Amino acid sequence: MQKKLENLYTSPSKQTYKIINFVNNKFIYIVSIIILTTIILSTLNYVRLKNILYREVDIQNKYKKNIRNKLIILSKAHKRNQEKKGKNNNISIIDSKIKEIIIENGGELSNLQWYFDNGQKINVLSTQNTKKSISIIEDINKIKSIMYTQIILSKTDINKSIELDITLTIIP
pLDDT digits (tens, 9 = 90+) for 27-57: 888 899 999 999 999 999 999 999 999 999 9
Q: What is the pLDDT of residue 18?
A: 77
How many separate helices (H) and strands (E) can be counted in the chain? Answer: 4, 4
- Of 163 and 131, the structure prediction assigns the larger pLDDT to 163
pLDDT of residue 12: 66
User: Residue 43: what pLDDT?
Assistant: 96
For 72-130, how does the pLDDT look when each residue is reduced to its tens digit (9 = 90+)?
999 888 888 777 666 655 777 888 888 888 888 888 888 888 888 777 888 899 988 87
Which of 169, 137, 170 lies closest to 153, judged by CA?
A: 137
| 112 within 8 A of 94, measured Cβ to Cβ | no
- Specify which residues 108 forms β-bridges with: 127
Residues with Cβ within 8 Å of residue 94, at least 6 apart in sequence: 122, 143, 145, 146, 170
* Other beta carbons within 10 Å of 133: 21
CA distance 38 to 73: 52
Q: According to the model, what pLDDT value does residue 1 have?
A: 73
48-53 long-range contacts (CB < 8 A, ≥24 apart) are: none
pLDDT score at 89:
57
Q: Which residue has the higher pLDDT, 170 or 87?
A: 170
DSSP 54-101: HHHHHHHHHHHHHHHHHHHHHHHHHHHHHHHHHHHHHHHHHHHHHHHH
Q: How far is CA 52 from the centre of its chain?
A: 31
Q: So what's the pLDDT on residue 112?
A: 87
Per domain, the residue ranges of the chain are 89-170
Q: Give the architecture-level CATH label for domain 89-170.
A: 2-Layer Sandwich (3.30)
Query: Average of pLDDT values for 142-153?
Result: 87
